[in-house]
Amino acid sequence: MYQDATFLGIYMLWYRKIEIVIGLCFAGRFSLGTVCLLALVIYYKVKRWHLSMYQNIEDFLQGPNNLMPVRYTYSNLKKMTNNFSNKLGEGGYGTVFKGKLRSGPLVAVKLLGKSKANGQEFISEVATIGRIHHANVVKLIGFCFEGSKRALVYEFMPNGSLDKYIFPKETEPMSLSCEELFKIALEVARGIDYLHRGCEMQILHFDIKPHNILLDEHFSPKISDFGLAKLCPTENNTVTMTAARGTLGYMAPELYYKNIGGVSYKADVYSFGMLLMEMAGRRKNLNPFVDKTSQIYFPSWVYDQMRGGNEIEMGDVSEDERKMVKKMILVALWCIQMKPTVRPSMNKVIEMLEGDGELLEMPPKPFQSPDEMLAEDDGIDPNTVEFPLLSEDQIDSSDISID
């Protein structure tokens, strides 16, 4: 009987282990099934999102638009780029290759990366550049859209982007004179002004920076990369933004400080001001590797120097070039004012650049925090500050040099 009891105990223990194993198996199968089901749901949602994105783009491309550029197949692109063998550069939105059309002209083919905004950057670029015809805006020749394969075909710009000329390596000599840089700045300003006032719809670029200014064979600048651009009616004073867009260092403060003011074309004015400052200084605005800590943030340092009446070291330049650079800095300081209402419009910027630099008024300090700016009143009337010029009777004749 004792043996029977022992056998029964062993049997019950063995049976209990079998139950546990079977239970674990069922639990494992259930967990595995849950994981598989979850994976299927995610796959379905991603696939549905991609289909929705492709449909959005295709609907746009098939819509009524007489200004639509040429549509190429992916096979066309492979032929014109020799199977993408000559890479020109790479950025946040894709890789650019050198190509050649059958008719002969050279082109730049930008293969776009994975879309993060339902294909919106592709639509933005085709919708904006496709309708623009201006000497200082890059020409979009065509595009490709085949499922996940998306590309844009531009006119080829043999001298590359502006950044390599204003931020040269130590081993490379400065290849553009002050006069050439000034001419480029003025033409870029004209291009932005055209985007703001010269089209049926107002075009806000939101990514003006040296890398997006391309230079043709004559070093004439053309604004490129409209992936972040926004179209809005010309009568709109502000636009609705769901998220900040642009490149840090060039983004207007109202894009992330909502209490400063509404987002408008003045955001491009700010970006242009930061670009202009870098062109004048031939250095990045923020450089932690400079010898003097006071010069880490160039706009702040140069403002203090000009406010104090100090001469700014510019190297071996003529007096005319010195005046030209000073004018660029003053205009840039007006453009990067914290408050959008204090910044000039782009047509006023052109007027300031083309005018007499000696008549330009010193702008207020542009680097206040939003709280400081709202707490104190500088006594500046936004309606008059659009014209930051001194009247003739405000200037002592001895201050004006006559060449």
Q: What are the average pLDDT values for consecutive 10-residue runs of the chain, which has 403 residues? A: 42 48 50 65 53 50 61 96 94 87 95 69 79 91 90 95 87 80 98 94 95 96 92 86 86 89 95 98 90 88 92 85 95 97 97 95 78 47 41 33 28
- Cα angle at 19 between 16 and 20, to 5 degrees? 90
Chain centre distance of CA 1:
89
pLDDT of residue 71: 92
Label residue 199 left, alpha or beta by phi (over 0 means left) and psi (-120 to 50 means alpha).
beta
- The pairing of strands 94-100 and 87-91 is antiparallel
Token pair listed for 238: 């502000």
Q: Looking at residue 8, what is its pLDDT?
A: 38
pLDDT recorded at residue 373: 47
Question: Where do we find the tokens 């066309």?
Answer: 76
Q: What angle do CA 110, 113, 114 make, to 5 degrees?
A: 150
Adjacent-strand bridge partners of 380: none
pLDDT for 51 equals 46
Q: Name every residue whose Cβ is closer than 8 Å to that of residue 290 and which is 6 or more positions away in sequence.
A: 296
User: With the C-alpha atoms ordered 294, 317, 210, 195, is the resulting torsion angle positive or negative?
Assistant: positive
Could you tell me if 303 and 309 are in contact, meaning their C-beta atoms sit under 8 angstroms apart?
no
Are the C-beta atoms of 214 and 157 separated by less than 8 Å?
Answer: yes
Q: What six digits make up the tokens of 284?
A: 């990045």
Distances in whole angstroms, Cα of residue 71 to Cα of each of 62, 110, 239: 11, 14, 31
> Rounded to whole angstroms, how far apart are CA atoms 84 and 201?
35
C-beta separation of 222 from 214 below 8 A: yes
Q: Enumerate the known binding-site residues.
A: 110
pLDDT value for 205: 95
Cα 285 from chain centroid (whole Å): 16
* Long-range CB contacts for residues 292-297, cutoff 8 Å, separation at least 24: none
Cα–Cα distance list, 256 to 111, 248, 260, 382, 384 (Å): 30, 11, 9, 22, 27
Which DSSP letter does residue 393 get?
G
Map residue 124 onto helix, strand or coil.
helix
Task: Report the alpha-carbon distance of residue 227 to residue 225 in Å, rounded.
Answer: 6
Q: In the prediction, which pLDDT does 200 show?
A: 84
Cα-atom radius of gyration of the chain, to the nearest Å?
30
Cβ-based neighbour number of residue 51 at 10 Å = 11
Amino acid identity, position 71: R
User: Phi and psi for 216 in degrees, rounded to 5?
Assistant: -85, -170
- Catalytic residue, chosen from 207, 216, 291, 316, is 207
| Confidence (pLDDT) at 121 | 75
Numbered residues of the known binding site for ATP: 110
Token output for 124:
């933005």
**Does 207 qualify as catalytic in the annotation?**
yes
- Helix (H) or strand (E) run with residue 232 in it: strand 230-233
Report which of 181, 214, 239, 191 is spatially closest to residue 347, judged by C-alpha positions.
191
| Sheet-wide strand order for 140-146 | 70-72, 140-146, 149-155, 106-112, 94-100, 87-91
Q: What is the largest CA-CA distance in the chain?
A: 127
| pLDDT for 43 | 54
Predicted local confidence at residue 77, as pLDDT: 97
The answer to whether the beta carbons of residues 77 and 109 sit under 8 Å apart is yes
Residues whose CB is less than 8 angstroms from the CB of residue 256 and which lie 6 or more positions away in sequence, other chains included: 244
